[in-house]
Chains A and B, each alone.
Chain A
Amino acid sequence: MRVMTGMWSFIKGIGMVIARAYALAKGLRLTLATFFTRPVTIRYPEHKREVAPRWRGVHYFDCNEKGDTRCVACGLCVAVCPSQCIRLVAVELENGERYPETYEINSVRCIYCGLCAEACPVDAIKLGRGYEFVAHRRQDLVLDKERLLANRPGGAP
């Protein structure tokens, strides 16, 4: 009887070893299969990822016929901005229009929520598709009026 149970546990042990070896072999087969698949890496500077249609990138100003900003300095974007990264100094021109004397977006603080673009009554500030803007100093990442205008699609480089 004891011999029988001994034999039985021996056979069970062999079965377990085979099962585990099979599991290891399955893992090896999977990695061998992935070895022969094409890598999914996008090699960045040469190839770039297509951004989503609703992607919110760095801001830009849309311009009017004169090539200046459409912004009327109403201050809605400043009010709505959750991270309070927009600084606006408004002046009144001779023809009575309000005009942004300075308009700065601190792109380091900005969370790219897009609320400023939604709030803008004249569709002046918009979020573009670019995401490659870097600088060595933080001050350089504060976007002023000229840079916002330059950021627009087809704007100055």
Chain B
Amino acid sequence: MATPRFPLWEVFIRSRTGLAHRHVGSLHAVDVASALEAARDLFTRRNEGVSIWVVPSASISASDPAEKAMMFDPASDKIYRHPTFYEVPEDVGHM
């Protein structure tokens, strides 16, 4: 008999108060409550977190790597968006 399918969840952990939740991995669970419990057991055995998010993997939409150039290249020649583009005389000090 084939094993029944459990939905897939993406897990995000906030490691310390004030930091953002960060993707740590994924797991299978039947519902939100069991996904949260499984995420605690799987990803926070050594106090790695103070908060967990679980998101159904099917709810995540990703950009297409084939369109990477179209998505991100327009930003690469806009060096004027970076502070180092602007010259400040040395005697003005750190700015």
Asked if A and B are interacting partners, one says no
Q: Which residues of A contact B (CB under 8 A)?
A: none
